[in-house]
Amino acid sequence: MGYTITEKILLDHTQVKNIKPGDIIQVDVDFIMTNDISGPVSVKQFEKMGAKKVFDIERMAIILDHFTPNKDLSAAEACKTMRNFAEKYGIKNFYDAGSGIEHVIMHEKGYVKPGDLIIGGDSHTVTYGGLGAFSTGVGSTDLAGVMALGKIWLKVPSQLRFVYKGKIPEWVGGKDLIIYTIGQIGTDGARYKTMEFSGEVIKGLEIEDRLTMCNMAIEAGAKNGIIEPDDKTECYMREEIGITEYRVYKSDDDARYEATFEFDVSNLEPQVAVPFSPGNAKGVSEVTGIPIDQVVIGSCTNGRLKDLREAAKILKNNKVHPKVRAIIFPGSKKIYKQALKEGLIDIFINSGAMIAIPGCGVCFGGHMGVLAEGERAVSTTNRNFVGRMGHKSSEVFLSNPAVAAASAIKGVIAHPEEVV
């Protein structure tokens, strides 16, 4: 009996010779990451554990991105805790305020390679499956344990396969595929399981779209999302990251899946997840015309260069509706610079949008862009729970960057075709 890509990665990181879903195994971790939210609690637990050093200082990154630049005194103290920790324990892979979002920096800096096993103190650590790595999020105490030991226990997840067929329509991308999928299986449809995305449509997706899909696997409860590396992955690793040595795993033909879902996406329209669940998927045409107050374009889900280019294509020679605040935040300093170079930032500013510092604040109602009572946003982020972006009565509609940009211009939820 064969193995899936996820099972193969787990097998190569454990002492055990055979595994099956449900087995509890101890694995060696290739890289760990934390931020200014999970980090301070991890630091406290790490020291309580009596640990004297991080298992490997080269294989840990600390990225301050949630409440940065320091929102208030409490955030300032949290960031200071992490700065001091990095200095005390010699963590060189340290990224202070404004460097970017953890799940963008991690692959941009080459900390993620296909075949790696990565643990992060953030639920969206699942993103890196887009490059063919096994990655999952844990809480602070778990992370402290890995910081000390370089190992963690995991339950081998049962495997779900999603096969996408057909010809992907214009204006539809990774974000739409994942929202549609969560809509089909529900927010606990992959709880504790692997979501392996495959098929001709996935092969045609750019790396950015693949990262977007895996990023939101957690929204269906998944332990990890993953896509087999292919020529596009290899090209990305070589050209963009400058890394050519890594392990490529592929699922065997006779690998065991608990279930296989097949979707023909030829007639799929851009998807919008309506409040208050990422699983409330609707075609954009079902929700067009709903008035909005804010548009958010960015995040670990859709803050990469391709996303900004898509938004710029819509916003070019257009104006943001006077009643809408449009906030655009590049995923990292590198993306910010490239967007400047390509003239995207000019397009955004000329349209009336504002550019925010790369970070996570807007997405989770942390700071910069909090919604008031009854306000409504279209956002390219990943969650639309009650109160996610501010007041409990405020609403977040999740979409791809083109739909968000079109909605910013119209002042209501809109299809990109309405403005181009």
Positions that interact with other proteins (CB under 8 A): 24, 26, 36-38, 40-41, 44-45, 48-51, 66-67, 71-72, 74-75, 77-78, 121-123, 125, 137-142, 144-145, 148-149, 151-153, 187-188, 191-192, 221, 223, 277, 364-366, 370, 383, 385-388, 392
DSSP conformation class of 21: T
Tokens for 132? 């063919």
- Minimum CB separation from other proteins for residue 179, in Å? 16
Please state the closest distance from residue 223 (CB atom) to other proteins, in A. 6
Number of neighbouring beta carbons within 10 Å of residue 240: 14
CB of 336 vs other proteins, minimal distance in Å: 24
Residue closer to other proteins by CB (options 142, 252) is 142
Q: How far is the CB of 258 from other proteins (least distance, A)?
A: 16
Q: Which amino acid is at 101?
A: I
Q: Which has the closest alpha carbon to 103: 61, 68, 153, 67?
A: 61
Minimum CB distance to other proteins smaller for 66 or for 210: 66
For other proteins, the closer of residues 50 and 322 by Cβ is 50
Amino acid at 236: Y
| β 151-155/24-28 pair status | antiparallel
Smallest gap, in angstroms, from Cβ of residue 148 to other proteins?
A: 6
For other proteins, give the closer residue by CB, 98 or 166.
Answer: 98
Which residue number, 74 or 267, has a Cβ lying nearer to other proteins? Answer: 74
Alpha carbons within 13 A on the beta-carbon side of 113: 15
Rg value, the chain, Cα: 20
* Full DSSP string of 171-239: T--HHHHHHHHHHHH-TTTTTTSEEEEESHHHHTS-HHHHHHHHHGGGGGT-SEEE----HHHHHIIII
Burial of 263 (C-beta count, 10 Å sphere; 0-12/13-18/19+): middle
Closer residue to other proteins (CB): 357 or 370: 370
Q: Which two tokens stand for residue 74?
A: 């409490």
Least distance in Å: CB of 277 to other proteins?
7
Scored b (16 or more CB within 10 A) or e, 145-168 reads: bbbbebbbebebbbbbbbbbeeeb
Taking the complex as a whole, how short is the minimal distance between the CB of residue 375 and other proteins, in angstroms? 16
Query: Shortest distance, CB of residue 418 to other proteins, whole angstroms?
Result: 32
Q: How far is the CB of 22 from other proteins (least distance, A)?
A: 10
Q: Toward other proteins, which CB reaches closer, 143 or 345?
A: 143
By beta-carbon proximity to other proteins, the closer residue of 177 and 362 is 362
Place of tokens 């887009």: 130
CA–CA separation, 389 vs 375, rounded Å? 10
Preceding amide of 31 cis, omega within 30 = no
> Element (H or E) spanning 139, and its range?
none
CB-wise, 130 or 365, nearer to other proteins? 365
